[in-house]
Amino acid sequence: MSDLFEPQERLVIGEQAVLLRGRALAADSALLSAIEAIAARAPFRRMITPGGFEMSVAMTNCGQVGWVTDRTGYRYAPCDPTTGEPWPAMPDAFATLAGDAASAAGFGDFVPDACLVNCYEPGARLSLHQDKDEQDYRHPVVSVSLGLPATFQFGGLRRSDRPLKVPLAHGDVVVWGGPSRLVFHGVLALEDGNHPLVGRRRYNLTFRRAL
Ligand code: MD3
Ligand code: FE
């Protein structure tokens, strides 16, 4: 356990937004195997926005519901529209990691019911947006980064607020709650590279309480 040698680095990046550097490192291979198992049943796909654009980030989900977008809008759905099957269950190790990270950031009793799994290949990006499709914004969102590093943009409550750039690396966990829950945020185009465990891509898990 690396935390026997160095205390975990905690970086406050906003009001109730806490970066727990390396928090997921000890579980990285278990998380990656779980992602592969999820993707074997609910394949990564590039969804279409309501505006008709294909997203550059490929996505899948696990949990009771999954986030989807198509020409009709954004929503949480109990079944994968690609297969018609329910999303794979959320692995216990996922829910435990998310609950523990939320506790460490001061949010007790976070029990996620949805996990969106994003897959970035070089060039993929996520433009500034708010996460507003969940029922109750009092629940935090927990994100876990794996693979190639990315530059995260942490903005404000208005799209026009100039975003802060935060590098996110393999194993980083971020908890976003309180006033930071509704900030505009995004990810700059992924730079090419090769991660020893993950290869030429980046995964991001976002744990939410959607219902
Ligand atoms: C701040 N994902 O899936 S994780 C998303 O790296 C999303 O794939 C990015 O934004 C990614 O919606 C960023 C960090 C994140 C996730 C959700 C948030 C930050 C957030 C919700 C509210 C505020
Ligand atoms: Fe988001």
Mean pLDDT, residues 20-33 taken together: 97
Domain count for the chain: 1
pLDDT of 8 reads 78
Q: Which of 76, 121, 185 to mutate to test the pocket of ligand 1 (most atoms within 8 A of CB)?
A: 185
CA distance 164 to 154: 5
Predicted confidence band at 7 (pLDDT cuts at 50, 70, 90)?
low
Q: Please give the average per-residue pLDDT across 68-97, as a whole number.
A: 97
Q: Where are the alpha helices (DSSP H) in the chain?
A: 28-41, 92-104
pLDDT at 1 over 60: no
Residue pair 71/55 in contact (Cβ under 8 Å)? The answer is no
107 touches 177 (CB < 8 A): yes
The single-letter DSSP state of residue 85 is: S
The CATH code of the domain that includes 110 is 2.60.120.590
pLDDT at 4: 54
Residue 184: is its pLDDT beyond 90?
yes
172 CB-near residues (< 8 Å, 6+ apart): 19, 20, 21, 22, 23, 24, 144, 145
Query: Which tens digit of pLDDT belongs to each residue from 49-79?
Result: 999 999 999 999 999 999 999 999 999 999 9
Q: How far apart are CA 63 and CA 189, in angstroms?
A: 28
Q: Is 58 in the pocket of ligand 1 (CB under 6 A)?
A: no
Question: Which is it for strands 141-147 and 202-208: parallel, antiparallel or unpaired?
Answer: antiparallel
Query: What does the pLDDT look like over 125-146, one tens digit per residue?
Result: 999 999 999 999 999 999 999 9
pLDDT at 192: 98
> Which range marks the domain in which residue 72 is found?
2-208
Residue 154 CA: which ligand 1 atom is closest? 1
The average confidence (pLDDT) of the chain is 96
Which atom of ligand 1 is found nearest the CA of 59?
A: 3
What pLDDT band is residue 47 in, cutting at 50, 70 and 90? very high
Is the pLDDT confidence value at 3 over 90? no
Distance 185 CA to ligand 1 centre (A): 7
- Looking at this protein, which amino acid is placed at residue 180? S
CB 153 within 8 A of CB 132: no
**Residue 26 has which token pair?**
């000890």
Q: Can you tell me the distance from the alpha carbon of 150 to that of 186, in angstroms, rounded to the nearest whole number?
A: 10
Contacts of 25 (CB under 8 A, 6+ apart): 2, 170, 171
Question: Rounded to whole angstroms, how far apart are CA atoms 78 and 150?
Answer: 30
What pLDDT is stored for residue 5 in this prediction? 57
pTM: 0.96
Q: What percent of the chain has pLDDT over 70?
A: 97
Q: How confident is the model at residue 171 (pLDDT cuts 50, 70, 90)?
A: very high
Q: How far is the CA of 126 from the centre of ligand 1 (A)?
A: 9
CA 140 to CA 181: how far, in whole Å? 6
**Cα 15 to Cα 152: distance, rounded to the nearest angstrom:** 16
